[in-house]
Amino acid sequence: MNATPPLPPLPPAGPPPATGMAALPDGLRFAVGALTAWQPPGRRADRRAATAGMRLAPLVGLGLGALAGGLCWVLLELEAGWLLTAVLTVALLALLTRGLPLEGLAGFADALAARRSPAEALAVARGPGLGRSGGLALLFAVLVQVAAVHELAGHGRDYAAAAVLVAVATARTGVGWACREVPAAEGDGFGALVARAVPTSVALPLAALTALFAGGVGALAAGEPGAGAVIGVATVALGLSAAELVLWQARARLGGLTEGVLGAVSETVTAVALVTLVVGAT
């Protein structure tokens, strides 16, 4: 008697995860949803999409920077005033990102000030309240950014808009840079999804491309092309160095990466980049 033939395997419940170039649309949707206020339809929140998305973070930064820099240029063209231009430019960035980076910075500052175990510090960072340290970090971050854009406006609308573009793009490159080697602080959540999603072999070329872009923009926008290029490259280098300091504190105090840490990286790099561009302009 013949043996019963084996049953064919059941079809998968859904489409297989995309790989290679096919993962780019999912990655772009993930990056846009994670780094901006817009939630694209069909966004996937799995490891594969997160891996592709964090590698595309600088591209999202270019979009955010173009919008903020464009507003800065238009307001200066309309002679709206340096202070008003600075406030509205920084406010637009907060609006475009739902204020999540600022919220992350505040929570991270409160966790650092708590001086407790990593688990307790994580609970403080996730808490709904705003502590003294978080409030001060939030205040100084916004004040530094507004003051920097105000000073940049004094160097002309082209340089100010270009500086905003470079600073925002550098900050999102810093977010991708943060997903390089630092482990996740928790076993689940956004930090676990993106931790170690960008290997160093990818992060370094992304940083180099951002530096080349910043140098090119600086050469075009500054009065002296050579000096502008150097300032642009230095902005990226100092911004990513600031990101490393935040990550060092995150590993030491929280045990690794969280969504709030990425917010702290973004806001810190933005402030450092803007200040570098102000100093370079003088």
Domain encompassing residue 113: 57-281
Q: What is the pLDDT of residues 113-149, one digit of tens each?
A: 987 788 888 888 887 888 999 999 999 999 999 999 9
Distance CA(278)–CA(280), nearest Å, equals 5
Residues 6+ apart with CB under 8 A from 260: 103, 104, 105, 107, 108, 111, 125, 126
Distance CA(80)–CA(150), nearest Å, equals 12
Domain count, the chain: 1
Q: With respect to residue 19, please indicate whether it lies within any of the assigned structural domains.
A: no
Q: What is the pLDDT of residues 211-226, one digit of tens each?
A: 999 999 999 998 888 9
Q: With respect to residue 70, please indicate whether it lies within any of the assigned structural domains.
A: yes
Mean pLDDT of 271-275: 98
pLDDT at 155 over 80: yes
Q: With respect to residue 221, please indicate whether it lies within any of the assigned structural domains.
A: yes
Point out the least confidently predicted range of 43-47, 95-99, 109-113, 270-274: 43-47
Q: What is the pLDDT of residues 38-71, one digit of tens each?
A: 999 888 888 999 999 999 999 999 999 999 999 9
The confidence score (pLDDT) of residue 10 equals: 41
pLDDT at 233 over 60: yes
The confidence score (pLDDT) of residue 82 equals: 97
Q: With respect to residue 238, please indicate whether it lies within any of the assigned structural domains.
A: yes
Distance CA(58)–CA(235), nearest Å, equals 15
The confidence score (pLDDT) of residue 198 equals: 95
Quick one: pLDDT band at residue 16, thresholds 50, 70, 90? Answer: very low
Tokens of 138: 């939030």
Q: With respect to residue 232, please indicate whether it lies within any of the assigned structural domains.
A: yes
The confidence score (pLDDT) of residue 1 equals: 42
Tokens of 276: 């570098």
Burial class (CB in 10 A: 0-12, 13-18, 19+), 159: buried
Q: With respect to residue 25, please indicate whether it lies within any of the assigned structural domains.
A: no
Q: With respect to residue 49, please indicate whether it lies within any of the assigned structural domains.
A: no
With 0.85 as the threshold, say if the pTM is over it.
yes
Q: With respect to residue 48, please indicate whether it lies within any of the assigned structural domains.
A: no
pLDDT at 235 over 90: yes
DSSP labels, the chain: -PPPPPPPPPPPSSPPPP-GGGGHHHHHHHHHHHHSS---TT---SHHHHHHHHHTHHHHHHHHHHHHHHHHHHHHHTT--HHHHHHHHHHHHHHHTTTHHHHHHHHHHHHHHH---HHHHHHHHH-SS--HHHHHHHHHHHHHHHHHHHHHHTT-HHHHHHHHHHHHHHHHHHHHHHTSSPPBSSSSHHHHHHTT-S-HHHHHHHHHHHHHHHHHHHHHHSSSHHHHHHHHHHHHHHHHHHHHHHHHHHHHHTSSB-HHHHHHHHHHHHHHHHHHHHHHH-
The pLDDT > 70 percentage for the chain reads: 92
pLDDT averaged over every residue in the chain: 90
Distance CA(79)–CA(73), nearest Å, equals 10
